[in-house]
Amino acid sequence: MPQLSPLDLAIVVVYVLGMTLLGVWFTRAQKDLRTYFVGGRDVGWFMVLVSIVATETSAVTFLSVPGVAYNPKGGNFTFLQLSFGYIVGRCLVAWFLLPQYMRGDLFSGYQVLRERFSPAVQRVASGLFLITRTVADGLRIFLTALLLKYVGWSMEVAIGVVGAVTIVYTYLGGMKAVIWTDLIQFVIKIAGAALAFVFVLRLLPGGWDQFLAEGEAAGKFRLIDASWNAPVAYTLWAGLIGGAVFSMASHGADQLMVQRYLCAKSLRAARLALVLSGVAVLAQFVLFLAVGVGMYLLANAGLFPEAALAERTDEVFPLFIIKKLPTGVVGVLVAAVLAAAMSTLSSSLNSSANALVTDFYRPLRPDHTERQYVLLSRVMTAVWGVAQMAVAYAAYRSGSTDSVVNRVLAVAGATFGLVLGLFILGSLRKPVQSRAALVGLVCGFLAVLALWLPSTGLTADGPAWVPDVYRKPVLAWPWFAPVGTATTVLVALLINLTFRAARPLHSPHTFQKIR
């Protein structure tokens, strides 16, 4: 098993120590929840923009997306169709949901639901966020550990190091540390991806011209798939419709993102950062997919035989980094992968601690001091970090070969669409009753679960009564969010009408209102 050279190891160590020291630097400023969770609400639009992009550009994006384009079985640029919907979804969030978040002095987006519904609805939404974040970001740690496996680390050690370092600087520095480390990590990972692409072109004998000619001949630059094939994730309609609703859910109903808007100086700054982040993510995807196409061309020409060692497409880019890049550049790329992972994980830990303290603990124990709340928040940062490391280890032991990016996005789409449905119901001029909203959410969950199960393979060898059509995927993950959102909203509206129709004309509630 190869080992990092002293120079590469030094680069990685300097990066890790730098992130930890930055957390220490911001420790003294964390005196209350306002500074620990929303950075004092004085962050400029550019820093909010960078933090949004850095947070959603995890190790999954950095390592898995190149594998999507590399895939010898039809990999190409159709993944970009999702980005078109992402931009549309962000614009809708910026104009319809952001104004609700920027009103008042909120720490959690789910506090809006408490104003519209009962505390139970707020806690259910926040609980779904906590579960989703723990699972999805545990998978991100797992993918990061796959790279470190190729430099001689065991998976257990790699998972422990990535998780522990992220816990330390998030625990110490709070949101300000997260945002500033996001900036540094964003620069490192974009520089790393650009370096990788430069070396891809250098390894191709014909350079840029060969990249364009052979990539086009292999169909790698195909961008649009206008078919209506529901089980296929990367089609124009899945991208525009599914991607838009998914982006509305992930950027409008996910505390991970909402917390960034709450840090902004104004609604205008938050809106500008959110919309421009969609364009930045599109550009990132182009770069990562181009790296994947280059690796395919190298492997096809016999210049990258190590690609055959990969058990899944997620592992091709880590192999390329370790096997084909020179000393020094390897260290930068390993640091870039760690940056991609840690920028998302640190944000996740801070937001998870925020959700638990703001949505669960503080409403039940409102008499504590700010210092006590900050201390609890730090403890919960560590607790959620350990939980994510446990998920990463479980993913490693499961032995699944499915693409991690698909698993992460499926988990997010399956749950965030439900929460988006609650926000839409709460935005109505006459919000539905809390119990109707909760029934709608449960029905939305069951609908998504029924459509998700075939794609997991669990129904392939099911009992004889399982229909044949249900033994293979029936719907791709980009459609999970639209199905969850639509089912939650429609069922809640119908149940609400039923409750109103069943209520006696002179019920105590009605009598009090008239009086």
- How buried is 349 (Cβ within 10 angstroms: 0-12 exposed, 13-18 middle, 19+ buried)? buried
Percentage of the chain with pLDDT > 90?
A: 33
pLDDT of residue 29: 55
DSSP 176-238: HHHHHHHHHHHHHHHHHHHHHHHHHHHHSTTHHHHHHHHHHHTTTT--------TT-SSSHHI
Q: Is the pLDDT of residue 511 over 50?
A: no
504: left (phi over 0), alpha (psi -120 to 50) or beta: beta
Section 321-325 average pLDDT: 89
pLDDT of residue 140: 79
Identify which has the larger pLDDT, 461 or 214: 214
Point out the least confidently predicted range of 31-40, 69-78, 172-181, 211-220: 31-40
Point out the least confidently predicted range of 67-71, 86-90, 102-106, 288-292: 102-106
Of the chain, the end-to-end C-alpha distance in Å amounts to: 79
Q: Give the separation between CA 130 and CA 508, rounded to whole angstroms.
A: 38
Section 300-316 average pLDDT: 89
- How buried is 40 (Cβ within 10 angstroms: 0-12 exposed, 13-18 middle, 19+ buried)? middle
Mind listing the pLDDT tens digit for each residue in 444-500? 999 998 888 887 766 777 677 777 777 788 888 899 999 999 999 999 999 999 877
Give Cβ neighbours of residue 496 (< 8 Å, ≥ 6 apart): 432, 433, 436
Percentage of the chain with pLDDT > 70?
A: 87
**Tokens (6 digits) for 461:** 């060898």
**Reported confidence tier of residue 287, pLDDT bands at 50, 70, 90:** very high
74: left (phi over 0), alpha (psi -120 to 50) or beta: left
Q: What is the mean pLDDT of the chain?
A: 83
pLDDT of residue 92: 94
Cβ pair 98, 267 in contact under 8 A? yes
Residue 496 CB neighbours (<10 A): 21
Identify which has the larger pLDDT, 217 or 350: 217
Q: Give the separation between CA 325 and CA 339, rounded to whole angstroms.
A: 18
Sign of CA dihedral 115, 120, 121, 124: positive
Q: Give the separation between CA 200 and CA 38, rounded to whole angstroms.
A: 41
Q: Give the separation between CA 379 and CA 394, rounded to whole angstroms.
A: 23
DSSP 259-290: HHHHHBSSHHHHHHHHHHHHHHHHHHHHHHHH
Mind listing the pLDDT tens digit for each residue in 240-278? 999 999 899 888 888 778 878 888 888 999 999 999 999
Section 218-237 average pLDDT: 92
Mind listing the pLDDT tens digit for each residue in 344-356? 777 778 778 888 8
pLDDT of residue 27: 60
Query: Which amino acid is residue 170, in one-letter code?
Result: T
**Reported confidence tier of residue 36, pLDDT bands at 50, 70, 90:** low
Mind listing the pLDDT tens digit for each residue in 413-433? 778 889 999 989 988 888 899
pLDDT of residue 514: 31
Q: Give the separation between CA 39 and CA 157, rounded to whole angstroms.
A: 32
Point out the least confidently predicted range of 10-14, 366-370, 478-482, 501-505: 501-505
Residue 276 CB neighbours (<10 A): 18
Bridge partners for 406 per DSSP:
none
pLDDT of residue 438: 94
Point out the least confidently predicted range of 67-76, 94-103, 235-244, 506-515: 506-515
pLDDT of residue 399: 62
Section 201-217 average pLDDT: 96
**Reported confidence tier of residue 205, pLDDT bands at 50, 70, 90:** very high
pLDDT of residue 185: 78
| pTM for the predicted model, two decimal places | 0.81
Helix (H, G, I), strand (E, B) or coil at 43: strand
Identify which has the larger pLDDT, 376 or 177: 376
Q: How far does CA 451 lie from the centroid of its chain?
A: 21
pLDDT of residue 346: 75
pLDDT of residue 173: 57
Candidates 1.10.340.30, 3.30.2310.20, 1.20.1730.10, 1.20.1530.20; correct CATH number of 6-396? 1.20.1730.10
Distances (CA, A) of 15 to 19, 155, 225, 302, 404: 6, 20, 41, 34, 25
Q: Is the pLDDT of residue 512 over 50?
A: no
Mind listing the pLDDT tens digit for each residue in 104-149? 655 566 878 888 888 899 899 888 888 888 888 888 788 778 767 7
